[in-house]
Amino acid sequence: MVNYLRQNKVSKIFINLKISIQSYFQRLNLPEYTFFSIFAIIIGAAAGIAAVLFHESIDFFTELFFNYSLNYLLVIGSGAVILIPVIGMLIQALMIKTSPDTAKQKGVYDVIKAVALRNGYIPFKTTVFHFIAPAVCIGSGGTVGPEGPAAQIGGGVASKIGVLFGLSEQRRRMFTTAGAGAAIAAVFNTPLGGVFFALEIILLNDFQSPTFSSLILASVTASVISRIFLGNQPTFIFNHESFSNYNHLIYFFLMGIVAGLISVLYIKYSINLERFFKRKVLNKIPQWLVMVFVGAIVGTAGYFFSDIFGIGYAAINKILAQSLTWKVVAVLLILKFVLVPLILHSGGFGGLFAPSLFMGASIGYLFAVAFNSYFNLGLDTTLFVLVAMGALLGGINSIPISSIMIIFEMTRDYTIILPLMLSVIISTTIVQLVMKGSVHLKHLEQLGLKLKSGREINLLAHLKVKDIMQKDIVIIPGNAPLSQIVSRLIENKHTVFYVTDRNGKITGQITERELRPIISEYETLREVLIADDIANPNVRYVYPDDTLDKVLNYFDMENVEEFPVISRSDKSKILGSISRQAIIKAYNKETLKFNLAEGMARQLQIIDSNKETTVTDGYSIIEKPALPEFVGKTLAQLKLRNQYGLEVLMIKKVNSQPAGEPEIIAPDPNYKIQDGDSLVVFGSNDAIKRFKNL
């Protein structure tokens, strides 16, 4: 009771603070561009501070584990260092045990999902959890990177500020992306690298001008914050000659091929290892035990090769300084290659950027040493190390532009651009050809998400054009004069007119785009031109049974706002129209349902049969055993949305699992209801009542 009252009091304080801040900014009544710029800077500063605190937290845990704790453990001998990663993995396992749902929202993929599905909303507890867990992992010797978690932290902080200031969903989506990019800019001290990271990974190359502006302002601000608190010293220290021997470009081309092949090998190893853990290991052995075992492997590797511990930037500097033998570098490469997926897929927390840079540095060093030894070419080893870092970073993470900008901003050497671009493009092209697309899209598809233009189009796959099409359209004959067209355009709420011939078949469409060029000569042409003269004949038709994801693809290909809907059996019969905005509205409704199901997954599993659970005023959730007449029919055939106004959130197969452990099935329209199934549905209280009484 005391905890409840305390939480309630904190909640009220936060709400009052939120209202006060929103009221203050409303009173300021700032111009749109001024508000936009100020807020982008605020987001950048917040993300930069968060990245600095994360950096300091990693240093704190490193000191705690490897200095303070190790002093007490040394009583059992020098092999005590093996226990440090074990302890770190055990702590992470306990965190996963206490917050399993939050633990699953990992790294940049959660930011992508938040931007695509939740309009940029990231729960603050997720941000806090993924601030602590990666710091523990890296601080205890986990050989992973801080960049992915930093991006998640930056995006989470930006999301929370967006909620605090009461930003619209579209703005919150934009600034969450900016926060993630700004955090990367702060970690690497590379503003442009942060900008293109957000564009290539978080937005999956869905470029928009306002977003680009916010990314630049936020990333530059975050970099300034990073330089103030962490200093302006470069992460990597090196000396190399400016690139001038263009005959050596062939060797950078070859190294790009090597980097691409190793990137593919790493990606496939990581994917197969993830499947192995999920299907063969984690469902049979307690996760904490698996993580402890992996921690012991990391600790043993670190006992013999201490450079494998942690982020690895110090080891990269040793490679750049050529203070390690090629044999040691080769061993470190193999260890990093093997251990990083082991840590991440067993349950550890961290990113891939630093390991990619580490493996790239090792490959570049080994490549240059091998060619110099066998062919006496006199290649600049340092230059090949730097270029290979970019090639692996781009290949493994599918970020060619970001990797080029990050390495370029780190070196600040314009002459490196040509070999860097060559190797990175070759490497990423090989990965794209072998993997048949972006690594990030492939991973999201494995999670059941199919994104296009920043949206999850699987959510629209079960909706048809006929479900949302508008039947009220404007049709004008081809011989209608210009004066009549302009009059109807002014008087009518519609912005698209469809022109038909004598048989009623559409021959073109007229929008403001067609009228604007001739409006200055209106008085001269008003009685001369007719609808057929000015109509755009290139009209794409859609059919009532087309899915909305298919139509959304059409909108991406053509610069129009709506398509006419015609009968599939009678092409001359116009049924209505469908607009881009109608699809986006349907998408937003589906994401609301998706987020509701995702956010209440655990509660939905324990709902009592035929017992209502209130979600909000006027809306509830209920589980009801499938009626006999439902059995054998698909969800599409049942048409629960049309007949009862209900949304199916999930299906429970009660009879397929041991008591108390029902199998949960996502609502696929083609799923056939079976005997013993229960439907968990969401809708208004009136609709729930009607369905309950069936």
Read off the pLDDT band of 136 (50, 70, 90): very high
Instruction: Report pLDDT digits (tens) over 264-282.
Output: 999 999 989 988 998 888 8
Instruction: With beta carbons less than 8 A apart as the criterion, state whether 485 and 531 touch.
Output: yes
Residue 263: per-residue pLDDT: 95
Residue with tokens 């002014």: 490
Greatest mean pLDDT among 15-19, 206-210, 260-264: 260-264
Query: What fold is seen in the domain 459-585?
Result: CBS-domain (3.10.580)
Residue 656: per-residue pLDDT: 46
The three-state (H, E, C) secondary structure of 630-664, written as one string: HCCCEHHHHCHHHHHCCEEEEEEEHHHCCCCCCEE
Report the chain's mean pLDDT, rounded to a whole number: 81
Residue 632: per-residue pLDDT: 84
Residue 658: per-residue pLDDT: 42
Distance (Å, whole) CA 162 – CA 509: 41
Alpha carbon of residue 663 to chain centroid: 28
Residue 4: per-residue pLDDT: 42
Alpha carbon of residue 137 to chain centroid: 22
Residue with tokens 């009678």: 570
What is the percent of the chain where pLDDT is above 90? 29
Residue 588: per-residue pLDDT: 67
Residue 675: per-residue pLDDT: 81
Question: What's the rounded mean pLDDT across residues 412-428?
Answer: 90
Domain layout of the chain by residue ranges: 15-230, 246-448, 459-585, 600-692
Residue 72: per-residue pLDDT: 65
Residue 370: per-residue pLDDT: 95
Distance (Å, whole) CA 176 – CA 183: 11
Distance (Å, whole) CA 461 – CA 669: 9
Q: Which range (45-59, 81-95, 326-340, 597-611) has the least confidence?
A: 597-611
CATH homologous superfamily for the domain 246-448:
Clc chloride channel (1.10.3080.10)
Beta-sheet strand order (sheet of 474-477): 474-477, 497-500, 506-510
What residues contact 301, with CB distance under 8 A and at least 6 apart?
308, 335, 339
600-692 CATH choice from 3.30.70.120, 2.40.30.10, 3.30.70.1450, 3.40.640.10: 3.30.70.1450
> Quick one: which of 149, 361, 141, 332 has its CA closest to 235?
361
Instruction: Report pLDDT digits (tens) over 488-505.
Output: 777 777 778 888 888 878
Helices of type H across 475-530: 482-491, 512-515, 522-525
pLDDT higher than threshold 60 for residue 456:
no
Residue 659: per-residue pLDDT: 42
pLDDT higher than threshold 50 for residue 127:
yes
Q: Which range (211-215, 382-386, 665-669) has the least confidence?
A: 665-669
Instruction: Report pLDDT digits (tens) over 600-646.
Output: 544 454 455 555 666 556 777 788 888 888 888 887 777 777 777 77
Residue 87: per-residue pLDDT: 93
Beta bridge mates, 648: 681
Instruction: With beta carbons less than 8 A apart as the criterion, state whether 555 and 534 touch.
Output: no
DSSP-derived secondary structure letter, 145? B
What is the percent of the chain where pLDDT is above 70? 81
Residue 250: per-residue pLDDT: 94
Question: What's the rounded mean pLDDT across residues 417-427?
Answer: 94
Distance (Å, whole) CA 180 – CA 403: 16
Encoded tokens for 141? 């010797």
Alpha carbon of residue 258 to chain centroid: 28
Question: What's the rounded mean pLDDT across residues 443-464?
Answer: 60
pLDDT higher than threshold 50 for residue 2:
no
Instruction: With beta carbons less than 8 A apart as the criterion, state whether 411 and 383 touch.
Output: no
Read off the pLDDT band of 244 (50, 70, 90): confident
Instruction: With beta carbons less than 8 A apart as the criterion, state whether 500 and 574 touch.
Output: yes
Q: What are phi and psi of 577, to 5 degrees?
A: -145, 160
Distance (Å, whole) CA 456 – CA 201: 15
Distance (Å, whole) CA 393 – CA 407: 10
Q: What are phi and psi of 498, to 5 degrees?
A: -105, 125
pLDDT higher than threshold 50 for residue 175:
yes
Encoded tokens for 377? 């070419």
Question: What's the rounded mean pLDDT across residues 661-686?
Answer: 74
Sign of CA dihedral 603, 608, 680, 655: positive
Residue 19: per-residue pLDDT: 58
Distance (Å, whole) CA 673 – CA 584: 30
Q: What are phi and psi of 324, to 5 degrees?
A: -115, 145
> Quick one: which of 514, 520, 574, 517 has its CA closest to 543?
574
pLDDT higher than threshold 50 for residue 141:
yes
Q: Is the pTM of this model over 0.85?
A: no
Torsion of the alpha carbons at 355, 356, 362 and 366, rounded to the nearest 10: 150
Distance (Å, whole) CA 433 – CA 263: 12
* 35 torsion bin: left (phi>0), alpha (psi -120 to 50), beta (else): alpha
Query: What fold is seen in the domain 15-230?
Result: Clc chloride channel (1.10.3080)
DSSP-derived secondary structure letter, 495? S
Q: Would you call 175 exposed, middle or buried from its count of C-beta atoms within 10 A (0-12, 13-18, 19+)? A: buried
Q: What is the β-pairing status of strands 619-625 and 613-616?
A: antiparallel
Encoded tokens for 354? 């630093």
Residue 58: per-residue pLDDT: 94
> Half-sphere exposure of residue 177, counting CA atoms within 13 Å on the CB side?
34
Instruction: With beta carbons less than 8 A apart as the criterion, state whether 318 and 307 touch.
Output: yes
Read off the pLDDT band of 59 (50, 70, 90): very high
Q: Which range (356-360, 403-407, 421-425, 521-525) has the least confidence?
A: 521-525
Q: What is the β-pairing status of strands 506-510 and 497-500?
A: antiparallel
Helices of type H across 64-146: 70-73, 83-98, 100-104, 107-117, 124-139
Distance (Å, whole) CA 485 – CA 526: 10
What residues contact 614, with CB distance under 8 A and at least 6 apart?
620
Q: What is the CA radius of gyration of the chain?
A: 29
Distance (Å, whole) CA 560 – CA 70: 65
Name the residue with higher pLDDT: 446 or 683.
683
Distance (Å, whole) CA 63 – CA 57: 10
pLDDT higher than threshold 70 for residue 654:
no
pLDDT higher than threshold 90 for residue 53:
yes
What residues contact 495, with CB distance under 8 A and at least 6 apart?
489, 511, 512, 561
Instruction: With beta carbons less than 8 A apart as the criterion, state whether 680 and 652 touch.
Output: yes
Question: What's the rounded mean pLDDT across residues 408-425?
Answer: 87
Helix (H, G, I), strand (E, B) or coil at 231: coil
Torsion of the alpha carbons at 597, 598, 602 and 606, rounded to the nearest 10: 10
Residue 1: per-residue pLDDT: 43
